[in-house]
Amino acid sequence: MILPNKLLIASIFVFFCTPSVAGFLDQDFTKITLKTTHVRGNIYMLEGEGGFAGGNIGVSAGKDGILLVDDQLSPMPGKINTALADINPGKLRFVLNTHWHGDHTGSNGHFSSDATIISHKNVRKRLMAEQNNFFGKSPASPKEAWPLITFEDAVNIHFNDEDIQFIHYANGHTDGDGIIYFPKSNVAHLGDHFFNGIFPFVDMDTGGNAFSLTRNIGNIIDSLPSDALVIPGHGGLSDMKGLKAYYAMLKSTTEHVKNLAAEGETLEDIQLGGLPTEWTTWGDGFVNEEHWIKIIYNSLPK
C-alpha cells in the first residue's frame, strides 16, 4: 500500500475548512509546486506540494499528444503547463473531468481553448448553474469551462495507443463521478471516489451517498486487475492493496452506523460511541470521525 502524502492531507484539511473554493483562492499560489510521478507506461500523476493545488491530475502523454484527468484550481494552469512540457512537448488534446468540484475543474476555462473537455452529463449540468453544498455557494462557471462532450454511462477515448475507458459510477462522491482506466498501462484514476488513507468527503447536496460510494468501490475493485496502480483524487499514489484497505474501511464503518441506527441510536449517540478503533487513524484528514459518522447517518434511507 502506497501511503498518502501528509503535507497534502494537511493542505486538503485547510481547503475543506474554507467556506468555498473561491475562499481558498486567496492563498499564495507562488508557493505551490507540482510533483510529477511517472506511474506506469504513458501515465503520470501531478500532485500539489506547498499548498492546496486541487485534486491529483492524471496525464496520458505520448505520440498523439496529452490528455489530462482533472485540472485543479483556476490559478494552476501555468504550473500545469510547465509540468506537462517537462513530460512531453506535444499538444494538449483532451481534459476529462471526474466530477464538478472546482478543485478538479477550476482550470477548464483556460484549457478549453486548446483541449476538448469530456465529462458525465451531470458535471456539465452543475457547472452551468450555481451550486449550493457543504462549502457554500459556487457560482456557475463561464461557458468556456463547460464540457463539450458528455455521456451517460461510459465513453471510450482512443488515444496514445490506449483504449481509455471513462465510466460513470452513480451517486458516490457526487451524482456525476466518472473513473478512468488506461488498460495498456494498467492504471486507474478514481477521482474523489478514492481518498487514500483518510475518510472521504461525500457531497450529499449534489447527489453523493456513503452507501452508494461503498458499493461503487466494491464494483470498481472487481473490474480492475489485481496489479493495477490507482491514482486517488486526494492522497498519494496507491495500488489495489491500498484501494482494498479503503473499501474495508467503507464497508465496516457504514455497516457499523447502519446497525446502530437500526437499533434506535441517534446520530449523537453513535458519534459519542465512535467507530471501531481500527479506523481511528483514518480521521486524521479533514473529514474527522464525527463528520464521517454524520455523512454515513445522513446517507441512510429516510
Report the pLDDT value the prediction gives residue 1, as an integer from 0 to 100: 46
Number of residues that this document lists for the chain: 302
Q: Report d(CA 64, CA 88) in Å as an integer.
A: 10
Report the pLDDT value the prediction gives residue 53, as an integer from 0 to 100: 80
Report the pLDDT value the prediction gives residue 16, as an integer from 0 to 100: 39
Report the pLDDT value the prediction gives residue 296, as an integer from 0 to 100: 98
- The rounded average pLDDT for each run of 10 residues, N- to C-terminus, in the chain (302 residues) is 43 38 65 95 95 92 98 93 95 98 96 97 98 90 98 98 98 98 98 98 98 98 98 97 98 98 98 97 94 98 90
Tracing cell 457526487 back to the chain, one arrives at: 174
Q: What is the pLDDT of residues 38-92, one digit of tens each?
A: 999 999 999 998 888 899 999 999 999 999 999 999 989 999 999 999 999 999 9
Q: Report d(CA 233, CA 192) in Å as an integer.
A: 4
Which cell numbers hold the place of 45?
A: 500523476
Helices (H), 17-148: 21-24, 77-87, 102-105, 108-111, 121-127
Report the pLDDT value the prediction gives residue 263, as an integer from 0 to 100: 98
The separation between the first and the last C-alpha atoms of the chain, rounded to the nearest angstrom, is 36
Return left, alpha or beta for 171; rule: phi > 0 is left, psi -120 to 50 is alpha, else beta: left
CB-based contact 7:49 (threshold 8 Å): yes
CATH code at 6-240: 3.60.15.10
